[in-house]
Amino acid sequence: MAIQKVGATQFQDLFSVVGAGAFSINPAAYVDNESQVLQVTVAGAALGDFVFVAPGNDIAEVTFSAFVSAANTVDIVISMVGGDTDNIAAADWNVLVLRPNPSHFRV
């Protein structure tokens, strides 16, 4: 539940949605301390956009992050940290790209 305050900036004021969708991702088998980068196309994504990603399956002993690496391209970095060999099952991963509103994000 959002807390409403008079004059407060809400989430939708801070960002605009550039792209959202589910992408079928099938990572290769991993060994400990190994990473791989998978790319998905998100139309309109640009450097400096925020990227949120969520896997559609169990990813125990794995970390992941995502970022815009080039125009229209999101890189998802998946890293094995659990000490074993693992094979993550293919699944749909949800990806959300947000663009900061420049009036709220100034240097």
- Domains in the chain, start-ordered, CATH in brackets? 15-100 (2.70.40)
Residue 89 has φ and ψ, to the nearest 5°, of -65, 150
Confidence band for 9, pLDDT divided at 50, 70 and 90: low
- Buried/exposed code over 9-40 (b: 16+ C-beta within 10 A; e: otherwise): eeeeeebeebbeeebebebeebeeeeeeebeb
User: Average pLDDT of 31-38?
Assistant: 84
What is the rounded average pLDDT of the residues 3-20?
Answer: 72
Judge whether residue 92 has pLDDT over 50.
Answer: yes
| Rounded distance between C-alpha atoms, residue 59 and residue 38, angstroms | 15
Question: Which residues, 6+ apart, have CB-to-CB distance to 57 below 8 Å?
Answer: 88, 89, 91
Average pLDDT for 70-74:
95
